[in-house]
Amino acid sequence: MKDTTLILLAAGSSSRFGLPVKKQWLYLGDRPLWVRVAEAFERTAEFARIILSAERGERNYMSRFADYTFVDGGSSRQESLTKALEAVETPWALVGDIARCCVDEALVKRVLKRKGEAACIAPALQAVDTVYEDGAPVDRSRIRLIQTPQLSRTEILRRALAEAETFTDESSAIHALGEKVLLIKGSPRAHKLTHLEDLRRLDCLEAPSRENFTGFGLDIHAFEAGKEMRLGGITIDAPMGFKAHSDGDVAIHALIDALLGAAGMGDIGEHFPDTDPQWKDADSMELLDAVLGRIRGCGLEPRHADLTILAQTPRLGPYKEPIRRRLAKTLGLPPARVNIKATTAEKMGFVGRKEGVAVHAVATLGIYDWRSAL
Ligand code: MG
């Protein structure tokens, strides 16, 4: 199918879904749903290119999972599709929604087989329920419910989407241009994952894997006299704080890097560059919350964390327990799943000379089990 590009729309915010994780990031087995959908399409035909329309902040992360072309999504389906079409170089574009996650491979083949017969080929179902319009029943044999994926002539689709009107799919946009739309037999399996209850109805959804992922983080900060010392999310009684662009909470920074490492999301500097004035004097606990939000949104959750704080001064013994409780609460874990250790450096090196503090952190993430929400 070197004359056809596959576009999968995965930029949705899942606002109707009601879970911390976005539906494209629900794990089925050991891979997120969007990867499984793309792989199912790949099995049905060879495409010139596979383009995924993704939320801007997730594009980089998605590109770590698979070797597709990722483009920034827009604020609506139509805008996302328009942007994705800019990367299409073939005469035909097959457009699918990640939300139709139980890909019926026979249906995809049926759509592709009719290539050339119309400007748009769309699968459709007959209405099986009685249909009313404005309070009166209508002849349901004339009703068709349109599904995806739809195969469109790229040039015609580009022109159709450029119209000012808002369309809910390609077939209606192309129909509005006066071009031919061919409706073919759809699939009752191709239901959309829209609401939480749909997770119960869709039969293709494999349970998430029980794998864990471990990450390591290390951070070092020098002391700065006269600054409040923040460590592990609490205030320490000390005559100095840490020299930093943010509040300098070296323990939280190490923990953030451990969490990002476990998620495969890079490092703290990529997420909060210290050249960005937005993070000047930032409360590190807010950075941690932001990172946890992103991790949870992408289908993972904390399971355990262990930190070792290397400090010759101040004495941290009395603070270990408050830090442990504070971090457990923020991570959403029972206190026993967080451990804090403190050690001196036996007066050796920069820690021993009381120039600063180093923190090592290890964090474990698990895959969010969406079945617990059903
Ligand atoms: Mg730091």
226-258: pLDDT as tens digits: 999 999 999 999 999 999 988 999 999 999 999
**Cα–Cα dist 123/77, whole Å:** 19
**11: pLDDT strictly greater than 70:** yes
Question: What is the pLDDT averaged over residues 189-209?
Answer: 87
Who has greater pLDDT, 75 or 354?
A: 354
CA of 222 to the centre of ligand 1 (A): 10
CA of 333 to the centre of ligand 1 (A): 24
CA of 249 to the centre of ligand 1 (A): 7
CA of 322 to the centre of ligand 1 (A): 21
Of 85, 93, 87, which Cα lies nearest the Cα of 158? 85
CA of 158 to the centre of ligand 1 (A): 47
CA of 288 to the centre of ligand 1 (A): 12
CA of 289 to the centre of ligand 1 (A): 16
CA of 324 to the centre of ligand 1 (A): 19
Strand 49-54 versus strand 69-72 pairing type = parallel
**52: pLDDT strictly greater than 80:** yes
**Cα–Cα dist 305/362, whole Å:** 6
Question: What is the pLDDT averaged over residues 23-32?
Answer: 94
Span 289-309, pLDDT tens digits: 999 999 999 999 999 999 999
Residue 15 has a pLDDT of: 66
CA of 250 to the centre of ligand 1 (A): 5
CA of 242 to the centre of ligand 1 (A): 9
- Strand ranges in the chain using DSSP code E only, listed in sequence order: 4-9, 27-28, 31-32, 49-54, 69-72, 92-97, 120-126, 131-133, 136-138, 144-146, 150-153, 181-185, 212-225, 229-231, 234-236, 240-242, 300-310, 338-343, 356-367
Of 316, 30, 370, which Cα lies nearest the Cα of 198? 370
CA of 218 to the centre of ligand 1 (A): 9
